[in-house]
Amino acid sequence: MAVAKVQELIEQNPLIVFRSPAPVLGGFRNCGAPCKSKCPFCKTVKELFKSLEVEPRVVEIDLEKDGGAIQKALFQTSKQLTVPNVFIGGEHIGGNDAVKALHSKGELVVKLKKARVLKADDEENPQPKDEVRKTEAESAQEQALKADGATNIVV
């Protein structure tokens, strides 16, 4: 049933990012970030899409009641356990490194246009900032949440 749900989400959303899986052994997320913090790879992908002025559908796996089943279904669908797990136009792209590599080759914008996430007639080729930085407010909020012992931070 979870495989059908994942496939339906992928088919219905031209740009979808699955992120923040439930904690695994040792208290770490699949990306290696401690559960109390944001997954830095998920955040980087989110910021890249934001710099391109596109809004992905984001599925916070650990906030879904069937999150474990979704994560297993994602592995069956994509053969990828780590997050973020990105799909564009129904095509599995991969994680942070794959998305950034596509962008550096100029292929990410092409895929986004083909999936109609970006306007095809748009002549601009947006480029991300050289370095993705946290705003002061985000950093302060993250520190406050860590100090309060928060376990899930949703971006």
Query: What pLDDT score does 126 carry?
Result: 52
- Look at residue 63 and tell me if it is in a domain: yes
- Look at residue 140 and tell me if it is in a domain: yes
64 CB burial (10 A radius; 0-12, 13-18, 19+): middle
- Look at residue 57 and tell me if it is in a domain: yes
The CATH number linked to 20 is: 3.40.30.10
Query: What pLDDT score does 34 carry?
Result: 41
Count of domains for the chain: 1
What span, in angstroms and rounded, lies between the C-alpha atoms of 92 and 87? 4
- Look at residue 103 and tell me if it is in a domain: yes
The mean pLDDT values, 10 residues at a time, for the chain of 155 residues are 93 93 43 51 91 93 88 94 94 96 96 90 48 50 58 45
- Look at residue 8 and tell me if it is in a domain: yes
Range of the domain at 25: 2-147
